[in-house]
């Protein structure tokens, strides 16, 4: 797909972008591929970083914070809070899958597919479209959970919502703690 664009030769960027696009388009095989390939752990961190950056810029722009004195400090705060929330989401899904569905998964097994499933968030900076990306990310995360853990779509959707609730709890807990340290 991206090989013809010339991106494939740029230090492995092409394969990473191709996997991100496949995940965003709900490719049936991508989530299992990244879950089973431990060599993609570092790349999954990069994907997560890009998605959080795009999401943070989108939230930052939508909030009108770029007109305030918050500046880059506000952007850094948003990114840090999103990072903590995202890790809490993975943990909540792992805990719920273990306790409710008796499915033992490691953090890494869930982390990689959910990181790629989060890749649509990279587009949250786009006006109008960015507001709907969060919903699509919920769909891609549901597909990742379904494909990796082998649950039906309903159970995977419930786990995905549990992950969102876990991330919301983390945001409520962490935001007051991080704000004093991250303001510039």
The pLDDT value recorded for residue 172 is: 94
Question: CA–CA separation, 83 vs 167, rounded Å?
Answer: 10
- Kindly give, in sequence order, each residue whose CB lies less than 8 Å from that of residue 6, ignoring residues fewer than 6 positions away: none
Where are the chain's structural domains? 3-182
The pLDDT value recorded for residue 127 is: 77
The crossing angle, in degrees rounded to 10, of helices 41-63 and 71-99 is 130
The pLDDT value recorded for residue 109 is: 87
Q: Which tens digits make up the pLDDT trace of 49-65?
A: 999 998 888 777 776 65
The pLDDT value recorded for residue 9 is: 44
Question: CA–CA separation, 22 vs 44, rounded Å?
Answer: 14
**Closest CA relative to residue 117, chosen from 145, 154, 157, 98:** 145
**Closest CA relative to residue 111, chosen from 54, 173, 65, 46:** 46
pTM of the model: 0.85
Name the helix (H) or strand (E) containing 51: helix 41-63
Q: How far is CA 177 from the centre of its chain?
A: 22
Q: Is 104 helix (H, G, I), strand (E, B) or coil?
A: coil
The pLDDT value recorded for residue 67 is: 55
The pLDDT value recorded for residue 63 is: 67
- What is the block-wise mean pLDDT of the chain (184 residues), using blocks of 10 residues? 48 86 94 94 95 83 61 77 94 95 88 96 84 90 94 95 96 84 55
The pLDDT value recorded for residue 141 is: 96
List the end-to-end C-alpha distance of the chain, in Å, as a whole number: 42
Contact 160, 117 (CB under 8 A): no
The pLDDT value recorded for residue 51 is: 93
């Amino acid at each position: 797909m991206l090989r013809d664009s010339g991106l494939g030769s740029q230090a492995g960027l092409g394969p990473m972008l191709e996997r991100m696009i496949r995940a965003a388009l709900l490719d049936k095989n991508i989530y299992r591929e990244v879950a089973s390939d431990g060599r993609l752990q570092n790349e999954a961190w990069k994907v997560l970083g890009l998605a959080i950056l795009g999401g943070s810029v989108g939230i930052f722009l939508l909030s009108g914070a770029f007109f305030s004195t918050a500046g880059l400090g506000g952007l850094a705060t948003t990114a840090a809070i999103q990072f903590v929330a995202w890790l809490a989401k993975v943990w909540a899904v792992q805990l719920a899958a273990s306790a409710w569905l008796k499915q033992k998964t490691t953090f890494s097994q869930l982390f990689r597919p959910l990181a790629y499933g989060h890749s649509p968030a990279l587009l949250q900076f786009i006006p109008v479209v960015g507001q709907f990306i969060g919903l699509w990310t919920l769909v891609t995360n549901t597909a990742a959970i379904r494909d990796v853990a082998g649950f039906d779509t309903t159970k995977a959707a419930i786990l995905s919502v549990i992950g969102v609730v876990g991330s919301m709890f983390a945001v409520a807990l962490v935001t007051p703690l991080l704000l004093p340290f991250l303001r510039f």
